[in-house]
């Protein structure tokens, strides 16, 4: 990439003019965008971990279980998740027994 070539910031989309002299290609227009992109990647990673940990639950339930875990600990969050899962199984069993 030559001096004056233009790319767009990965965070905000603003145009960036690339520098010459062997510099790496700039991906972000400033530190604010660089930090914003980092926080977004961290949040995406966290959400993926939630999806993996609480698979089978809706996104809203996953967020609630995460909040419980953060606030009250893993033991309580896991207990609530197990209780919810048992309720779901029991409801399905009852519905199937009634022919529904």
> Is 96 a residue whose pLDDT tops 60?
yes
- Give me the phi and psi of 23, to 5 degrees please: -70, 150
Exposed (0-12), middle (13-18) or buried (19+): which is 54, by Cβ within 10 Å? buried
> Is 18 a residue whose pLDDT tops 90?
no
| Calpha distance 70→92 (Å, rounded) | 30
pLDDT score for 20: 77
Domain locations in the chain as residue ranges? 1-53, 54-100
Q: What is the average pLDDT across 37-48?
A: 94
- In this predicted structure, which of 47-51, 82-86, 95-99 has the lowest mean pLDDT? 95-99
In the chain, % of residues over pLDDT 90: 67
Q: What is the average pLDDT across 67-86?
A: 95
> Is 62 a residue whose pLDDT tops 90?
yes
> How high is the mean pLDDT of the chain?
90
């Amino acid at each position: 990439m030559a001096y004056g070539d233009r790319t767009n910031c990965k965070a905000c989309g603003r145009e960036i003019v690339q520098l010459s002299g062997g510099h790496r290609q700039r991906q972000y227009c400033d530190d604010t965008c660089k930090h914003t992109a980092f926080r977004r990647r961290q949040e995406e990673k966290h959400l993926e971990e939630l999806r993996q940990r609480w698979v089978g639950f809706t996104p809203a339930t996953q967020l609630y279980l995460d909040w419980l875990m953060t606030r009250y600990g893993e033991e309580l969050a896991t207990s609530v998740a197990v209780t919810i899962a048992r309720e779901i199984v029991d409801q399905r069993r009852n519905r199937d027994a009634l022919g529904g």
